[in-house]
A and B are shown apart, each in its own frame.
Chain A
Amino acid sequence: MKNWYDYLGISGLVGLALALLWIFVSLTGPIIAPYGPGEIVDYEVFLPMSWEHPLGTDYLGRSVLSRIMDGARFTVGLAFAAALLAAFLGTGLGLISAVSGKALDESISRVMDALLAIPNKIFALVMIAGFGSSIPLLLLITGIAYTPGVFRIARSLAVNINQMDYVQVARARGEGRLYLACFEVLPNMIHPMLTDFGLRFVYVVLLLSSLSFLGLGVQPPNADLGSLVRENMSGLWDGAPAILAPAAAIASLTIGVNLVIDSLRGRR
């Protein structure tokens, strides 16, 4: 029985620890945070790190640590849900495309290509301008933004598997298209799609944080990690933890997940 170390190596374990930390914080943050996210804990703004306020205070005097713990659930939760949406939609469409006739395959692929031709940030900006940036909308927008990418990979995997002998044999047995898609093709795609899911998650985190940083993502009174960086911009000149900590938080999340993915890829 191989242990964790064999599967992941040191860098992978570090990454896993970071990822698990953030999952934990996003699930329990608001409960275990020392102060409420809106609570003003000190009259001094942009306080440096101290025992009383481990990450200092923000531009209004609120606890940065608590704000981060509260905001993590938006960053992590939204990104996870959006990546899941992209995974389902993309994989589903990819499978349909691969096992269906040429006409359906062509039309779906054309539409996906058109969507892929729009840079993700631009697409998100246009959608936000048109529909707004409430939480459900952000989820939909970021999910749809990455669906074509997932579709492409899923379809190419499915087409390859479709041509394998064991699928041909199943088809010669007389199995229907739905059966083929679900029981012959899909199980053999799961592993690479999982890796892809991890990558999409990271991309969504980056996109979402960037949007919030521009003021177009998560709106007040809610704040995700990107919004935290934005609102504390003026603390940059003092080198206040108020702006550095949320930025570092995002970095540790994305780097952590990247480390896990890289080490899983490498081992295989």
Chain B
Amino acid sequence: MSDLIRVENLRVVARSDDGHEKTIVRDVGFSIPRGEVLALIGESGSGKTTIALALMRYARKGCHISGGSIRLGDTDLMSLSQSELQSLRGRRVSYVAQSAASSFNPSMKIMSQILEATQIHRTLPRKEAEAKAVDLFRALALPNPETIGSRYPHQVSGGQLQRLMAAMALITDPELVIFDEPTTALDVTTQIDVLQAFKRVVEERGITAVYVSHDLAVVAQMADQVVVLNNGEIREMGRTEQILNAPGNDYTKQLLAAARPALRSAGNADEVEELLLSVEGLVAGYGKIGADGRPTIPILEDIDLSIKRGTTLGVIGESGSGKSTLARVIAGLVPPAAGTITLAGETLPGDLAQRTREQFSTRPTR
């Protein structure tokens, strides 16, 4: 059987506090040939992570696998005892979680945690395991591969931690690696780097993998097969090219459409002349204003923008770029260090307390 994984009729049930049971995964089945990558896609709540965890016969608190069969090679997972499961997890199947920051023990050095699986399963003596880890760091394009292991998790960036988690998963040469939305928690720019590193490693080593994601662009790059999930059920399943270019199922079509941003019809924005809000030379941040007129923690630098009456201005940026701060300054919750805000021709005082009631009510309501 060239299929590494074969899942049939998988059923997972969740039990709430008052005893009610709800089926969260229903009649799921798929198989993955050796060396291929299968993507599980769907919106949040569709059951992707539950199915991914079930491949190790693991269910989170309150859930249990109530039916179906899961085969890894020749092994029937449902028939294993607890200790046999423990020897399987981390050794034949490993898991790369969504949030690396919370998956690492904050008081253990990174290297010890990466090597832990080799110690539990006794796959390699320490020296060799360390050397292998450093190799993996290099393969994942991590900086300072020789020394990064001696740091603590909080001393390393999010993107690096995510790659370190992949190293942690690969150190025991598992048969199957499960990637559970590993780039979702990262900034867009970091995502690209991390994804490339994963892709390279998966291809080089011919790893069989399951990739959970809600991001179709990512899936297009990584996967050979795609399973589309909704509400715990499979909507459609097939090769990647087929699903992305010629989807058969309506839900799949909806997902694809949603992934392509559609331009909102501009309406009559260009016809409106009246300027409502005008911001000039805005400098703002948090903390005391220093001698140079800049706040202790500067967030916004020399911002100019204008909004016409009846129109909407979209502000986008990565986390930490200052979007919320800008909104707060305009609303008067954070006083600006420099610059002016003009509403309907009147200069607005920076502090909420100094604004009059009229200034509140002239703000455009939607």
Direct A–B contact in complex, judged by CB atoms less than 8 Å apart: yes
A173 within 8 A of partner (CB): yes
On whether the beta carbons of B333 and A168 are closer than 8 Å, the reply is yes
- In the assembled complex, the CB of A244 is this many whole angstroms from the nearest CB of chain B, namely 39
Inter-chain contacts of B331 with A (CB < 8 A): 172
Whose C-beta in chain B lies nearest to the C-beta of A169?
B331
A174 within 8 A of partner (CB): yes
Q: How far is the CA of A7 from the CA of B261 in the complex (A)?
A: 47
B332 within 8 A of partner (CB): yes
On whether the beta carbons of B332 and A267 are closer than 8 Å, the reply is no
Count A interface residues, CB 8 Å: 8
On whether the beta carbons of A6 and B18 are closer than 8 Å, the reply is yes
On whether the beta carbons of A2 and B333 are closer than 8 Å, the reply is no
A152 within 8 A of partner (CB): no
B352 touches which of A6, A171, A267 (Cβ 8 Å): A171
Contacting B at CB under 8 A, from A141-182, are 168, 171-174
Flag B326-343 by CB within 8 Å of A: 1 or 0 each.
Answer: 000001110000000000
Inter-chain contacts of B17 with A (CB < 8 A): 267
Inter-chain contacts of A173 with B (CB < 8 A): 360
- In the assembled complex, the CB of B16 is this many whole angstroms from the nearest CB of chain A, namely 11
B357 within 8 A of partner (CB): yes
Inter-chain contacts of A168 with B (CB < 8 A): 333
Which of A2, A172, A267 has the most C-beta atoms of chain B within 10 angstroms of its own C-beta?
A172
- In the assembled complex, the CB of A267 is this many whole angstroms from the nearest CB of chain B, namely 7
On whether the beta carbons of A174 and B333 are closer than 8 Å, the reply is no
Q: Size band of the B side of the interface?
A: under 10
Q: How far is the CA of A172 from the CA of B333 in the complex (A)?
A: 7
- In the assembled complex, the CB of A28 is this many whole angstroms from the nearest CB of chain B, namely 36
Contacting A at CB under 8 A, from B330-366, are 331-333, 352, 355, 357, 360
Given A171-B352, A172-B332, A172-B333, CB of A2 within 8 Å of CB of B18:
yes
B357 touches which of A2, A172, A174 (Cβ 8 Å): A174
**A interface majority secondary structure:** helix
On whether the beta carbons of B360 and A174 are closer than 8 Å, the reply is yes
Inter-chain contacts of A6 with B (CB < 8 A): 18
Q: How far is the CA of A174 from the CA of B17 in the complex (A)?
A: 41
On whether the beta carbons of A172 and B352 are closer than 8 Å, the reply is yes
- In the assembled complex, the CB of B266 is this many whole angstroms from the nearest CB of chain A, namely 29
Whose C-beta in chain B lies nearest to the C-beta of A168?
B333
Inter-chain contacts of A174 with B (CB < 8 A): 352, 355, 357, 360
- In the assembled complex, the CB of A42 is this many whole angstroms from the nearest CB of chain B, namely 53
Contacting A at CB under 8 A, from B45-102, are none
Inter-chain contacts of B357 with A (CB < 8 A): 174
Inter-chain contacts of B355 with A (CB < 8 A): 174
Q: How far is the CA of A174 from the CA of B357 in the complex (A)?
A: 8
- In the assembled complex, the CB of A4 is this many whole angstroms from the nearest CB of chain B, namely 13
Whose C-beta in chain B lies nearest to the C-beta of A267?
B17
Flag A215-251 by CB within 8 Å of B: 1 or 0 each.
Answer: 0000000000000000000000000000000000000
Q: How far is the CA of A81 from the CA of B332 in the complex (A)?
A: 44
Q: How far is the CA of A259 from the CA of B18 in the complex (A)?
A: 20
Whose C-beta in chain B lies nearest to the C-beta of A266?
B17
- In the assembled complex, the CB of B365 is this many whole angstroms from the nearest CB of chain A, namely 12
- In the assembled complex, the CB of A217 is this many whole angstroms from the nearest CB of chain B, namely 42
- In the assembled complex, the CB of B216 is this many whole angstroms from the nearest CB of chain A, namely 31
Inter-chain contacts of A172 with B (CB < 8 A): 331-333, 352
- In the assembled complex, the CB of A146 is this many whole angstroms from the nearest CB of chain B, namely 32
- In the assembled complex, the CB of B319 is this many whole angstroms from the nearest CB of chain A, namely 16
Q: How far is the CA of A6 from the CA of B332 in the complex (A)?
A: 47
- In the assembled complex, the CB of B334 is this many whole angstroms from the nearest CB of chain A, namely 11
On whether the beta carbons of B333 and A171 are closer than 8 Å, the reply is yes
Q: How far is the CA of A83 from the CA of B360 in the complex (A)?
A: 43
Give 15 CB contacts A-B under 8 Å. A2-B18, A6-B18, A168-B333, A171-B333, A171-B352, A172-B331, A172-B332, A172-B333, A172-B352, A173-B360, A174-B352, A174-B355, A174-B357, A174-B360, A267-B17
Residues of A participating in the B interface, judged by any CB pair closer than 8 Å:
2, 6, 168, 171-174, 267
Known: A172-B332, A173-B360, A174-B357. 8 other contacts (CB 8 A): A2-B18, A6-B18, A171-B333, A171-B352, A172-B331, A172-B333, A174-B355, A267-B17
10 A-B pairs with least C-beta separation: A172-B331, A174-B360, A6-B18, A172-B333, A168-B333, A174-B357, A172-B352, A172-B332, A2-B18, A171-B352
